[in-house]
Amino acid sequence: MDRLRLRLELEDLFAAYAACLDDGELERWPEFFTDDCRYEIIPRENFERRLPLAVLRCESKGMLIDRVAALRRSSVYAPRALRHLVSGVRIVGIEGGVVCAHANYAVLQTLSDEHTTIFNAGRYLDRVVRSDGVLKLAERLCVYDSVLVPGSLVYPI
Amino acid sequence: MDRLRLRLELEDLFAAYAACLDDGELERWPEFFTDDCRYEIIPRENFERRLPLAVLRCESKGMLIDRVAALRRSSVYAPRALRHLVSGVRIVGIEGGVVCAHANYAVLQTLSDEHTTIFNAGRYLDRVVRSDGVLKLAERLCVYDSVLVPGSLVYPI
Amino acid sequence: MDRLRLRLELEDLFAAYAACLDDGELERWPEFFTDDCRYEIIPRENFERRLPLAVLRCESKGMLIDRVAALRRSSVYAPRALRHLVSGVRIVGIEGGVVCAHANYAVLQTLSDEHTTIFNAGRYLDRVVRSDGVLKLAERLCVYDSVLVPGSLVYPI
């Protein structure tokens, strides 16, 4: 049961993470991570060829906070709604207090006066730790299926 | 564990609700609600600006039943299949026996001889109560991401 | 609780199944089934009219293995990524050790240099048994919403 319960807790974490981004509450987003976290958005092809070319790479919570500040300053985005769908959360390993988990995601996008389309889809490859009783992301790699790099992909996924 | 267990029960409720609509069993749809329920379909923009303009508003189970009867009479729809994807079910509060829960949804649509597209996506904002041991929706607000109002959106979501 | 726990186990099975196909590890795919399994991909219209016309029908694990071998030989596909989203897993009955379960699925597709689209969506209608402690598919019917038959639909879903 412990493993099933842990999966339920991961799903709670991922649901809160998705709601944070969908609600546009970017300032709360770094709080889902540990201080020394790693966060990357990587096209699938680069990931599979082990090319170190990420579209976005942050190597600490401080860098996540900087990223949010930069996004708030630039604000070049057309008004749009994002909507995360997360499916197939799986624990693939537990070692020394670190939970390795995978999940599929799709982010839908709705621009003003347009129909809803798929903005980005791929896999989350995560390392999760418990800190003061709360699950935090020590690492989240967003490996997305497209090789197209939408200009706006620097927004967190 | 109680909160995780409750989330599992909510997911069961939402899965049965989605299957009811996807199977076209509209007559069973009002049974997911309490007698004095509230059901609304609202564009996100109106919801955020607190404009009271819903695309559909029902303020009792009787109104849901009337709505189904009206839909059956009109029957102007092209044959199509709907398919609900629900993700990120979250309990955001429990007060006095009322569970406040949020979830993301996407409804896919497949018209005859056409490819599958995204019909509507958004959030469910729910108030759920237990009545005779069974969870029922006391309120479901479907806040959808588009500002476009598809003619057929009067169909329950 | 037993029924909720069983649903969690089904979700684990479905998540592993989806990851297997999304990772392109076709050779592992038959292992999700019992030896005397049944696997079909059927357009919704045929299923509802009880027409015995499936796009793909396999009536044993051996046939699944043959299918994988044939797919590996032909290899006519353009490079593409598939991504499963599974939602609304429901136990609809348990009889004599056989669990009947339904779920909604969508398979997203990303071709090289193109945007992500919906490849196929529909329902899984499953019969699941426990064999040596492990859940296996005795039957999986993939009833998809489109009447269009994409050439590449002979790929497992």
What CATH number should be reported for the domain holding residue B77? 3.10.450.50
Q: Which of chain C's residues have a Cβ under 8 Å away from the Cβ of B16? A: 90
Q: How far apart are CA A34 and CA C60, in angstroms?
A: 48
Q: Which domain holds residue A128?
A: 2-147
| Residue A150 reports pLDDT greater than 80 | no
| Confidence band for B149, pLDDT divided at 50, 70 and 90 | low
Chain B touched by C83 (CB under 8 Å)? no
C-alpha distances (whole Å) from B33 to each of B14, B56, B70, B134, C129 are: 12, 16, 18, 11, 34
Q: For residue A154, is it within any domain?
A: no
Taking contacts as CB-CB distances below 8 angstroms, the residues of chain C near A108 are none
| Interface-testing mutation among B7, B116, B119, B120, with chain C (most C C-beta atoms within 10 A) | B116
Torsion (CA) B17, C91, C22, A108 in degrees, nearest 10: 10
Q: What is the DSSP letter of C27?
A: G
In this complex, is the C-beta atom of B117 within 8 Å of any C-beta atom belonging to chain C? Answer: yes
Q: Is residue B108 less than 8 Å (CB to CB) from chain C?
A: yes
Q: Is the pLDDT of residue B150 over 80?
A: no
Considering the domain boundaries, does residue A139 fall inside one? yes
Write the single-letter amino acid at C155. Y
- CB contact (8 A) between residue A84 and residue B88: yes
Cβ of C120 within 8 Å of Cβ of B116? The answer is: yes
Residues of B in contact with A116 (CB under 8 A): 106, 118, 120-121, 145-146
| pLDDT per residue of chain C (157 residues) written in tens, 0 to 9 | 689 999 999 999 999 999 999 999 999 999 999 999 999 999 998 898 888 788 899 999 999 999 999 888 876 666 789 999 999 999 999 999 999 999 999 999 998 778 899 999 999 999 999 999 999 999 999 999 987 666 665 778 8
Sequence-separated contacts (24+) of C59-66 with Cβ below 8 Å: C60/C35, C60/C36, C61/C30, C61/C33, C61/C34, C61/C35, C61/C36, C61/C37, C62/C35, C63/C39, C64/C29, C64/C30, C64/C33, C64/C37, C64/C39, C65/C30
Q: Report the DSSP beta bridge partners of residue B99.
A: B94, B128
Instruction: Check residue B116 and give its pLDDT.
Output: 93
**More confident call, C65 vs A157:** C65
pLDDT at A118 over 70: yes
Above 90 in pLDDT, residue A28? yes
Q: How far apart are CA B122 and CA B40, in angstroms?
A: 13
pTM of full prediction above 0.90:
yes
**DSSP three-state, residue B149:** coil
Is B88 in contact with A19 (Cβ distance < 8 A)?
yes
Residue C101 bridge partners (DSSP): C91, C126
Write the residue in A81, A86, A116 that is nearest to B88 by C-beta.
A86
Nearest CA among B15, C108, B104, B84 for reference residue A104:
C108
Rounded mean pLDDT, A70-94: 88
For residue B136, what pLDDT band results from cuts at 50, 70 and 90? very high
Question: Can you say whether residue B129 is alpha, beta or left, with left for phi > 0 and alpha for psi between -120 and 50 degrees?
Answer: beta
Cα-Cα end-to-end distance for chain C: 30
Considering only the beta carbons, identify the residue of C88, C146, C147 that sits closest to B18.
Answer: C88
Q: C111 is written with which tokens?
A: 């071709």
Longest dimension (CA), chain B: 50
Q: Where are the beta strands (DSSP E) in B18-55?
A: 33-43
A13 domain residue, yes or no: yes
Longest dimension (CA), chain C: 50
Helices A2-22 and B2-22 cross at an angle (nearest 10°) of 70
B110 touches chain C (CB under 8 A): yes
Contact C145 B108 (CB under 8 A): yes
In chain C, how many domains are there?
1
pLDDT at A79: 76
For helices A2-22 and C2-22, angle between their N-to-C axes, nearest 10 degrees: 70
A88–C contact, CB cutoff 8 A: yes
**Residue range A89-93: mean pLDDT, rounded:** 97
| Secondary structure percentages of chain C, helix, strand, coil, to 5 | 30, 45, 25
Q: In this predicted structure, what is the pLDDT of residue C157?
A: 86
Q: Helices in chain C by DSSP H: which ranges?
A: 2-22, 44-48, 61-74
Taking CB atoms and an 8 Å limit, are A147 and C112 in contact across chains? yes
B118 and A117 within 8 Å at the Cβ level: the answer is yes
Crossing angle of the two packed helices B2-22 and C2-22, in degrees rounded to 10: 70
Q: CB of C81 within 8 A of CB of C114?
A: no
pLDDT digits (tens, 9 = 90+) for B49-100: 888 788 899 999 999 999 999 988 886 666 789 999 999 999 999 999 999 9
Q: Which residue of A has its CA nearest to B84?
A: A85
Beta strands at C80-95 and A56-58: parallel, antiparallel or unpaired: unpaired
Q: Is residue A157 part of a domain?
A: no
